Amino acid sequence: MTFYLFRHGETRYSKNNLLYGKHIESADIVPEGVVQAKEIAAKLGKAGVRVIYSSPLKRCVHTVEIIKGEIPEVEIIFYQGLEEEKMTRGLESLEELTERIRTFLEEVKTKNLEKVGVCTHGWPLAVLIALLQKGNVQKSDLLNYHKCGELVVIKTK
């Protein structure tokens, strides 16, 4: 299985390195984020990705809607477990974040998909990368998330 992982398109908060605060669920992408989503769509289309799992938060929804507009045949599946981390709000631990991402991966692997896209947020993305690359997560792995609009491709066995 090949995973095509990406963070949502740029938002006012990510662009300016600000905390989302009360806008964690309502923040939308900015014009640069629209461009990023179209660039990701081109890469996903070229790779033949036909299924994308996405966080249900607005900035991810907007990102994958743009991608769907570019690749009409792609199926979008919103998955609650891909939502933003809750550690900074004291609502989950690293272990709980890791477990919900691990649960997502286990579920996706049962689908026997050849290629799958995943649109999520910074720390969930870092946890996904760590689990796929080495099977475990350490706190230092949280620093390994990519900028908005960057595509990370990881092939598993």
Residue at token pair 């290629």: 115
**What was the pLDDT predicted at 157?**
76
**What was the pLDDT predicted at 129?**
96
Stronger pLDDT, 56 or 26, i.e. the higher one: 56
**What was the pLDDT predicted at 32?**
94
Q: How many CB atoms lie within 10 A of CB 150?
A: 14
What SS3 state is found at 120?
Answer: strand
**What was the pLDDT predicted at 69?**
97
Max distance between CA atoms of the chain, in angstroms, equals 40
How is residue 34 annotated by DSSP?
H
User: Of how many residues is the chain composed?
Assistant: 157
Q: What is the mean pLDDT of the chain?
A: 94
Cβ neighbourhood burial of 41 (10 Å; 0-12, 13-18, 19+): buried
Stronger pLDDT, 96 or 25, i.e. the higher one: 96
CB 151 within 8 A of CB 45: no
Domains of the chain, first to last: 2-155 (3.40.50.1240)
Q: Residue 17 — pLDDT band, cuts 50, 70, 90?
A: confident
Query: d(Cα 110, Cα 134) in Å, to the nearest integer?
Result: 20
Tokens encoding 63: 């990102």
**What was the pLDDT predicted at 15?**
82
Query: d(Cα 51, Cα 65) in Å, to the nearest integer?
Result: 13
Query: d(Cα 115, Cα 61) in Å, to the nearest integer?
Result: 20
Note the pLDDT tens digit of each residue in 66-94.
Answer: 999 999 999 999 999 999 999 888 899 99
